[in-house]
Chains A and B, each alone.
Chain A
């Protein structure tokens, strides 16, 4: 089991890692946490911030884990979040 994990880790580190980020429309979010629970990489978490209606908002707690697969966008019942792939050496700020 251990060796299997090791092999997995080396193969993923040798590959070029895909980077991504998420955009959240805060006013639409109702804090259902679908995006957090069903994020395949565990990049999102429920944050402490509230929106204007008093719902807890998700946040990108582990930005390095996000690969922009847009699974959060597909699950979101409120059309409030979506993921995008970032090009090489691009960050959310200069995207």
Chain B
């Protein structure tokens, strides 16, 4: 095989674990592919990068990337990542997890990390269901969609993820689908280079559970739906970007704002109160 070029993302992957467990037509792998290219474009030193995942299909990402990674308990990816970000402020901390993990079980952690503006990048792969445990309803399952725990269609109102994290004060909020591979890569690069809490929602197909139960075809058909019904609206008001069942999708980079991070706020306040006696916090040495 000498002389054969190598896949450009090969060096970020634990190739001995491939092929991975994700189903044919699942979009999580595509988002990891974009993430690997974004890391290269953002010129990030892999030694200074931590990838933290929770539980679920998307939680497997931490096991497949060949960097310092952390597979944590269900919903608690952000508390672990907060600890890392506090101890090593110079490092890049990326939380890579699913909608059920981040917004249902770990919802409270997420809103407080965004409120405090802890320096981390959160990538949420939204496949509208709990994939690994059998297709139960999540806070992001659209109204009227069927799930194993909602056989007559979901009657709950859903979370509008960009609006929620925007209201909590995230400094960068974007949403893309896995059809928008180039834009997603660019947004990931931008999020990695933004100090503070940045959030990217990635809409992804789940052919095995969500689509089979709702008769939506395979992975390709879902990505074609993303292609046909998406409109790019950068800077759109996040209150207007809610998703419906097979409805229109607004994608883009919605929010970019500047706020002092948690550590900056702490240092500023303590300096005001304690004056010269205070030694600014610069991480655990």
Contact = CB atoms under 8 A, between A and B. Distances in A.
A60 to B, nearest CB: 15
Contacts of A38: 179, 223
B65 to A, nearest CB: 11
Contacts of A27: 19
Given A34-B220, A55-B24, A77 B30 contact: yes
Nearest to B7: A82
A37 interface: yes
B227 to A, nearest CB: 9
Contacts of B33: 73-77, 79
A32 B27 CA distance: 10
B255 interface: no
A31 B26 CA distance: 11
A76 B30 contact: yes
Contacts of A32: 24-26, 218-220
B3 interface: yes
Given A23-B5, A28-B19, A84-B5, A77 B181 contact: no
B146 interface: no
B28 A25 contact: no
A64 interface: no
Given A31-B24, A32-B24, A74-B182, A79 B220 contact: no
Interface string A59-76: 000000000001101111
A73 B9 CA distance: 9
Nearest to A94: B3
Interface residues of B, number: 34
Which range contains the number of A residues in contact with the other chain? 20 to 34
A95 B178 CA distance: 32
B34 A74 contact: yes
Contacts of B23: 30
Nearest to B184: A74
A77 B18 contact: no
B8 interface: yes
Nearest to A28: B19
Interface string B166-188: 00000000000011011001000
Contacts of A53: 19
Given A23-B5, A34-B219, A34-B223, A77 B34 contact: no
Contact of A37 (B34, B37, B220): B220
Interface string B1-42: 001110111100100001110111111111011100100000
A66 to B, nearest CB: 14
Nearest to A84: B5
A31 B220 CA distance: 11
A82 B23 CA distance: 20
A12 B32 CA distance: 34
Interface in B35-66: 37
Contacts of B178: 75
Given A31-B24, A32-B220, A73-B33, 5 more contacts: A34-B223, A37-B223, A75-B30, A77-B28, A78-B29
Interface of B: 3-5, 7-10, 13, 18-20, 22-30, 32-34, 37, 178-179, 181-182, 185, 218-220, 223-224
28 contacts: A23-B4, A23-B5, A25-B7, A30-B19, A30-B24, A31-B24, A32-B24, A32-B219, A34-B220, A37-B220, A38-B223, A55-B24, A73-B7, A73-B9, A74-B34, A74-B37, A74-B185, A75-B30, A75-B33, A75-B178, A76-B29, A77-B22, A77-B32, A78-B22, A78-B29, A79-B7, A79-B18, A84-B5
